[in-house]
Amino acid sequence: MYKIAKHLAWLSLWRRKSRSIMVILMIALSLSGLLAIQGLYDGMITHMINTTIRSDSGEISLYTKEYRLHKSLAYKLSPVSKIEEKLSKIKEIISHSVRLQQEGLIATAHKSLGANIKGISLEKERDFGNFDTFITQGDYSFGKHKKEALIGATLAKKLHLDIGSRVVFTAQDADAEINAISFRISGIFKTGNPALDEYTVFVSMEKISTFLNLKESATQIALRIQNTEQIKQVQKKLQTMLPELEILRWDELYPLLIQMQEMMQIFNLASYMIVFIVAALGIFGVMLVSVLERLREFSIMLAIGTPYKMVRNQILLEATFLGLIGFMVGALLGWIILLYMSTWGVDLRSFEAGLETFGLNAILIADIQYYYFVQAFFAVFFATLLSVIWPLRILKKIKAIQVIQGKML
Amino acid sequence: MRFTLALKNILKSKGRSLTTLLLSLFTTTLFIVYVAFMDGSHHQIIKSSVEIYTGYAHVNLKGYRDESDYGNLIEDASSIDEILRNDTSIKTYAPRFETYALLSGDEKSVGSMIVGIIPSKEEKLSKLASSLSKGEYLNDNDTNAIYIGIKLAERLKITIGSQIAMVGSSIDYSIAADIFTVKGIFKTGLFDFDAQSAFVNKSYLDSVILSDNKATYFTVDFQNNDHINKVTSALQAKLPSQYEAVGWDSLLSSLVQAMLVDSIFGYISISIFFLVIFFVVMIFSYVNIYTRTREIGLLRALGLTSKDIFIILFIEILLLATVAVSIGAIIGGVIAHHYELQPIVIDGIAEMYKDYGLVSDEVPMHFDLFTITWNALTIFILNLLAIVYPALKINKLTATEAMRYV
Amino acid sequence: MKYLFFLLLFSLTLDANEAQNIIKKLEKNLRGDYMYGTMKMIVTSKRGQRTVKIESWSKGNDKSFIKILYPKKDKGITFLKLDTQMWQYIPKIERTIKIPSSMMLQSWMGSDFTNDDMVKESSFEEDYHTKLLSKRGNFATLELIPKEDAAVVWGKIIIDVDIKNAAPLKETFYDDRMKKVRILTFSKIEKHGSHTIPMIMELKPLDANKKKNSTKVIYEKIDFDTHIDASYFTKHALKRYSR
Amino acid sequence: MKLNHITKTFYPDSPKEVKALTDINLTFNKGEFTTLSGESGSGKTTLLNIIGGLDSATSGQIFLDDEEISAYSEKKMAKLRLQEIGFIFQAYNLIHVLTVRENIGFIMKLLKFEDKEIESRILELASILQIENILEKLPGEISGGQQQRVAVARAVASRPKLILADEPTANLDSKNSERLMDMLRTLNEKEHVTVIFASHDKYVLEQSKRIIVLDDGVVIEDR
């Protein structure tokens, strides 16, 4: 009997071809659009979170408790090897990066600006977050004698620096003596994180340690954790192991990112709701009319003894087919768009300044997640169900005999 | 004849007309409200950023934007003051004197921006007074009282009543130094601003850095700040040629671009809404027209051409859409207007967006006749377009086919 | 041929040595063990001209004490520089302030010199490779290229020297794209005790937005031969010698 | 089939109360070819619908093979209609998305007849009803007479005990009416189906073996 209902539903659908195609197109096009936006938004946020984790925070960062407010070398992590030894006992930590940072002044012959100098190990940063991929000009190198530096793109632009340009960095060392050191620029990086791009110069750890007159010291140790689920657990473990330190997750360091993600999710959900409530209205229109104009036919079917269940199934199936085909076409189309956008990206270079305010690159790379399609499926499914409630009620109410006698038409 | 027929069709089949009417009405209202909400929240963000400190427009010497030093001061502030005072398009304005100086507490010294302001005027122009977090805001008779950002206070390790020394340079480049007592601490939520600015009464600062009758710029609040380019260029025309009036959109250009990016995403979403609405209207038109197949067949049989039928259907949708969209626009407009005056309050949104400088939980809608007009027109045109396909489709049927249509 | 080549090589090294010697002599002449002087600094900018009078004491390269005599408003303000650190005392607020690194590169008293210029022991001899570009009688032109490790912002400096008096005539500063940034000219060379030095020094920045600026320093008194009490080079001096 | 004291009242206990049928007592035997006749509004269609279980009587009982079907639930009634009764209505009583072939086989399919049997039955009926050449067409593509013949085929296909036909000839011209009646007659004789009409068509009356005349809800003649 289900088979007959399916057969009837399928046939009815194609009997009213234009109508069905319109509904399917409606579902498919709006769905692919929604999927595309969702992917783009998600891509945007994931990208921001990713680069932040890769370029700075890791999943977890360690500081001394006072450092983040005062940014003073008095609050340094030391000795580093002791902390590293403790870290090595936690197997969930797949890599870590030790960084030593100091605020100071960067100067050229023309201009000077406030900036941060940060000592790192290139190899470790590469392991840590592929920092080399952020280089837009020049090389990922500190030169043979570690006398070269990597500089943020915005800072380089403000100072009119090129590869090979010479800069002098002036800062107070650990003994509050003012020292100056010169570097040549070997590479320019762009992470999308304004704190790095606008204010930071990376130099070798050895060089800065000597410059600041420090040994075995760091201001931040950032950690990469294998699995997202382990982050909180590792944080707790670290807290008990190193109670004197501040141990912060990336989302605690950059709460704005999480908030943006939440906002985007709410926005996506709202978009889905608006679109599919309207879409349900469209499906409803079609289903209602298709029931109304076939009331007589349905009555006859009921009259000759067709069970109500079968008639109901037929209508449900008709709507389901519409929804399902719409979903499949839309999902396919959306997938193709997403695939394109995740491979080639969306070029928004004309709004570069605006995007940078959000800490984004001008070319947005979309994300593709399995759950988009599940979510979309449920949206379509509910819209479809919603749209047949009223037509089914009408059908339930009819007395076959009245329709046959023409009393309801 | 065709018109009467169309009108009669509308009036006779009330249910059908009502559905179409309601659908268009609903979509128009929805769309207008959505756009008003989006624009409203952008306005709110911009308004917050603008109103925390920057202001809607600045009047400064040409060249000051590039080189904000003592070489580009407004040397005769009273002449500018007079021009601004006599400009009826301006609600309030005030001169400011921004300079960089070394502030030092007992332990630490920090380079910071010091601004001479007229406290009573600034209260109306910016959020400085309302951002008070501890102590008191300045008044016009204050002498060496200073009002500083909360992060700056933390950096200097000082609090209300502490003394801080300022060392900077006077405008003749002699050294300017004075001791100030912390009168108030403010918190706007903008980290950099809270960490790097301090305010003192301008008349007193003038005596310290010899800037009497001088200003780095005037900040201006117009009666109507909506069309900032127009009002600033009008103001520009009244200013001596060496001065310029700069609107907030240039002062905060990256914020403007950020809003633009956000709007683009908003419009992508809207275009999806459009797509759905278009299809729904089309489906309803299609269904409406098809339930009338037999009737249309009869008309054709009676000798009307397919063009006549098309025109009748078109007149019908034209009438319905006009009524629906007008009512929808009015309802949408009323909602937008209402929520502009009494903004929706979303608790915690200010906290969430504090890094963007949003200082209020209120999200007003933005009521703008032009926007509402184009929104309504879009839906109207969408309605008209939506009927084209169904009408053409039905006209393909011959009269007899149409009459036999089940 | 071989001989000629040897000669050429020899003359080159000789040149380098000669340049080195000139710089050494120059620096020795300009900076004695002790120096006391009074000077007038005339700063010209878009906003007009202004004069500052200064009294200064210094010992060697890294200790100096400066007191402002004029204008009246600034009278009594003192500066102390010890090695790389700098303090300032302002009588009006009775405070001694340590100048933080972030302020070091700001203009000093509105002049075209930066605080950094005042502080840094920019020793030509230590920080630069020197090369003799030309020599005609008593006048030589030297090219100074900073050593790789030297923390200097310049790409190179060209110095015209009066060899006989071991005094500079003109210093031209280039950025690292070898574009001229500023020119320092010296004049009125006089002998004061054991040193022969230019009494007038004028700095002219070449950046487009500083076209109208210049700073002229005129020595009024200068003495290299009197011992200066060590008490000048302590933080107590700031307040003590302010009056 | 037996009808005992069937009474049908529309809008009972209201000012609009209409007594459509009053105390009808009738018995139909197997293989009968009967017509319910009478003026418009005499209650013949109402009676037919009650017999077919499409409508329920206000009072009285209906027995089919000694079983009281008037007490059946809606669901059970629907099942009974499907298995035991075939319907033919005035017009448009085909499922228009299905072909003629599928329309005829529809009920058999619902009753889970085997495909082979359905196929042979369709062919058999098609030949009797002379509709072999339109089997693959959709209802919209054939004439009204043909449509009615398909409806007949569908009604008898599953060999129901009873066929109810409400004004089957109302929308047909005389030639088509004649043909339809001929065929129903043939089926009645060949397959011994009980057929009950509700009609005032002269030709239908002529063909009937038994005529029951109703007037204002009361049986006034049974011959």
ipTM, 2 decimals? 0.67
The first and second tokens of residue A362, run together, are 């001008």
Of residues B322, B298, B308, the one with CA closest to residue B383: B322
Q: Do chains B and C touch (3 or more CB pairs under 8 A)?
A: yes
Q: Which residues contact B298 (CB under 8 A, 6 or more apart)?
A: B399, B403
C and A touch with 3+ CB pairs <8 Å, answer: yes
Number of domains in chain C: 1
**Omega prior to D139 cis, within 30 of 0:** no
Q: Are A283 and A383 in contact (CB under 8 A)?
A: yes
Look at chain B and report how many structural domains it folds into. Answer: 2
Query: Could you report the per-residue pLDDT of B2-54, keeping only the tens digit for each?
Result: 777 777 777 777 777 887 888 888 888 888 888 888 888 777 777 777 888 88
One-letter amino acid of D61: Q
Minimal CA separation from B359 to chain C, in Å: 31
Assess whether B40 and B84 both reside in one domain: no
On the question of pLDDT at C4 being above 60, the answer is no
CA separation for the pair A195, A341 (Å, rounded): 28
- Residue the block writes with tokens 């076409």: A329
> Does any CB of chain B come closer than 8 Å to the CB of residue C194?
no
Q: Does C243 touch chain B (CB under 8 A)?
A: no
Is residue B241 included in any domain, yes or no? no
Asked if A108 and C176 come within 8 Å (Cβ–Cβ), the reply is yes
Q: What angle do CA D159, D163, D166 make, to 5 degrees?
A: 150
Tell me how far apart the alpha carbons of residues C87 and C242 are, in angstroms, rounded to a whole number.
Answer: 13
Tell me the three state secondary structure of residue C191: strand
Q: Between chains, do C209 and B110 touch, taking CB under 8 Å as contact?
A: no
Inspect the interface and report whether the beta carbons of B280 and A33 lie closer than 8 Å: no
- Rounded to an integer, the average pLDDT of C124-148 is 85
Residue listed under structure tokens 């409406």: B288
pLDDT value of residue C3? 47
Q: Strands A200-204 and A112-120, how do they pair?
A: parallel
**B89 and B42 co-located in one domain:** no
Q: Looking at chain C, which residue has its C-alpha nearest residue B64? A: C209
Gap between the Cα atoms of A48 and A39, Å rounded: 14
Helices (H) and strands (E) in chain B, counts: 15, 12
Nearest to C176 among A165, A171, A179 (CB): A165
Going by pLDDT thresholds of 50, 70 and 90, the confidence category of residue D179 is confident
Q: Return d(Cα C106, Cα B170) in angstroms, integer.
A: 14
Q: pLDDT tens digits for B157-183?
A: 888 998 998 888 888 777 788 889 999
**Exposed/middle/buried for residue A3 (C-beta within 10 Å: 0-12, 13-18, 19+):** exposed
Residues 175-234 on A with a CB inside 8 Å of C are 176-182
CB contact under 8 A, D85 and A12: no
Token pair 């509402």 is found at: B372
Cβ contacts of A170 on chain C, cutoff 8 Å:
101, 104-105, 116, 151
* A197 vs B contacts (CB less than 8 Å): none
Q: According to DSSP H, which parts of A1-135 are helical?
A: 2-15, 17-52, 67-70, 80-87, 122-129
B202 shares its domain with B290 = no
Contact D27, D84 (CB under 8 A): no
b/e sequence A16-53, b meaning 16+ C-beta within 10 Å? beebbebbbbbbbbbbbbbbbbbbbbbbbbbbbbebbb
The pLDDT value given to residue B385: 87
Q: How far apart are the first and last CA of chain B?
A: 28
- A383 contact residues in B (CB cutoff 8 A): none
Radius of gyration of chain C (CA): 19
Task: Using CB atoms, list chains with 3+ pairs below 8 Å to chain D.
Answer: A, B
Closest CA relative to residue B387, chosen from B312, B301, B295: B312
DSSP string, D155-180: HHHT--SEEEEESTTTTS-HHHHHHH
Instruction: Spell out which residues of chain D touch residue A11, defining contact as CB-CB under 8 Å.
Output: 97-98
Counting every residue written for chain D, the total comes to: 223
Q: From B206, B224, B242, give the residue that closes a domain.
A: B224
pLDDT digits (tens, 9 = 90+) for B318-363: 888 999 999 999 999 999 888 888 877 777 666 666 555 555 667 7
Helix (H, G, I), strand (E, B) or coil at A108: coil
Give the model's pLDDT for residue C7.
44
Give Rg (Cα) of chain D.
Answer: 17
Task: Report the SS3 class of residue B155.
Answer: helix
Owning domain of residue B19: 2-50+255-403
| Minimal CA separation from A272 to chain B, in Å | 10
Residue B403 distance to chain D (closest CA, Å): 12
Enter the DSSP assignment of C100. Answer: P
What average pLDDT does the segment B77-85 reach?
89
For chain B, the residues whose C-beta falls within 8 A of a C-beta of chain A are 19, 23, 27, 30, 34, 154-155, 253-261, 264-265, 268-269, 271-273, 275-277, 279-280, 282-284, 286-287, 290-291, 352-353, 355, 393, 406
Give CA–CA dist B212/B75, Å, rounded. 9
Same structural domain for residues B139 and B217? yes
Q: How far is CA A219 from CA A66, A85, A98, A126, A226, in A?
A: 11, 17, 8, 19, 23
Specify the pLDDT at position A407: 44
For residue C176, the domain's CATH number is 2.50.20.10
Query: Reduced to 3 DSSP states, what percent helix, strand and coil does chain C have, rounded to the nearest 5?
Result: 25, 45, 30
Chain A residues with CB within 8 Å of chain B CB: 18-19, 22-23, 25-26, 29-30, 33-34, 37, 40-41, 69-70, 256, 259, 263, 267, 271, 274-275, 278-279, 281-282, 285-286, 289, 292-293, 348, 351-358
Given pLDDT bands bounded at 50, 70 and 90, which one contains residue B115?
very high
| Per-residue pLDDT of chain A in tens (409 residues, 90 and over written 9) | 677 778 888 888 787 788 888 889 888 988 898 888 888 888 888 888 888 888 888 899 999 988 877 778 888 888 888 888 888 888 888 899 999 999 888 888 877 778 899 999 999 999 898 888 888 889 999 988 888 999 998 889 888 888 988 888 888 888 877 778 888 899 999 887 778 888 899 999 998 999 888 888 899 999 999 888 888 888 998 888 888 888 988 888 887 777 778 877 887 888 888 888 888 888 888 888 888 878 778 887 887 777 888 888 888 888 899 899 999 999 999 999 988 888 887 776 666 666 665 556 666 777 788 888 888 898 888 888 888 888 888 888 776 666 555 443 3
Alpha carbons A76 and A88: distance in angstroms, whole number: 20
**pLDDT score at B117:** 93
Measured between CA atoms, the residue of chain A closest to residue D156 is: A304
Q: Does C110 touch chain B (CB under 8 A)?
A: yes
Q: Is B401 part of the contact surface with chain D (CB cutoff 8 Å)?
A: no
Out of B155, B261, B275, closest to residue A30 by CB = B275
Q: Are residues B160 and B21 in the same domain?
A: no
Within A169-307, where are the H helices? Answer: 194-199, 205-211, 231-241, 250-253, 255-292, 295-303
Nearest chain B Cα to C73, which residue? B174
Q: Using alpha carbons, select from B165, B127, B174 the residue that is nearest to residue B146.
A: B165
Cα separation, D151 vs D168, whole angstroms: 9
Residues of A in contact with D98 (CB under 8 A): 8, 11
> In chain D, which among 73-92 make CB contacts under 8 A with chain B?
92
d(CA D54, CA B111): 94
Q: Position A35: which residue type?
A: L
Q: How many beta carbons lie within 10 A of that of residue B86, not counting itself?
A: 9
Residue B174 has its nearest CB partner, among C71, C98, C106, at C71
B342: β partners: none
Residues of chain A in contact with residue C114, where contact means CB-CB under 8 angstroms, are: 112
Q: Do C93 and B172 touch (CB under 8 A)?
A: no
Question: Where are the domains positioned within chain A?
Answer: 2-52+257-404, 66-243
Same domain, B117 and B210: yes
Q: How far apart are CA C183 and CA C180, in angstroms?
A: 8
Closest residue of chain C to A178, computed from CA coordinates: C84
State which amino acid sits at residue A150.
L
Test the C interface: residue of B100, B102, B179 with most C CBs within 10 Å: B102
Confidence of residue B405 (pLDDT cuts 50, 70, 90): low
User: Searching chain A, which residue's CA lies closest to the CA of residue C82?
Assistant: A177
| Nearest neighbour of B254 by CB, restricted to A22, A69, A353 | A353
> What is the signed CA dihedral for A159, A160, A165, A167, rounded to 10 degrees?
-10
Q: Tell me which residue has tokens 């009921």.
A: A302
**What is the residue-averaged pLDDT of chain C?**
80
Question: Given CA atoms B80, B82, B84, B86 in this order, what sign does their dihedral have?
Answer: negative
Domain region containing C49: 2-240
Residues B375 and B328 grouped into a single domain = yes
* Pairwise CA distance, residues A238 & A232, whole Å: 10
8 Å CB contact of D79 and A305: yes
The span from the CA of C4 to the CA of B399, in Å, is 114
The rounded percent of chain C whose pLDDT value lies above 70 is: 84
Nearest to A177 among C85, C104, C153 (CB): C85
Chain A: give the shortest CA distance to residue C82, in Å. Answer: 10
Mean of pLDDT values over C45-68? 83
Owner of token pair 């690159």: A361
On whether both B63 and B44 belong to a single domain, the answer is: no
DSSP-assigned letter for residue B128: T
Contact B257 A353 (CB under 8 A): yes
Q: By CB neighbour count within 10 A (0-12 exposed, 13-18 middle, 19+ buried), where does C154 fall?
A: buried
Q: Which helix (H) or strand (E) covers residue B16, if one does?
A: helix B14-49
**Of residues C45, C109, C111, nearest to B175 (C-beta):** C109
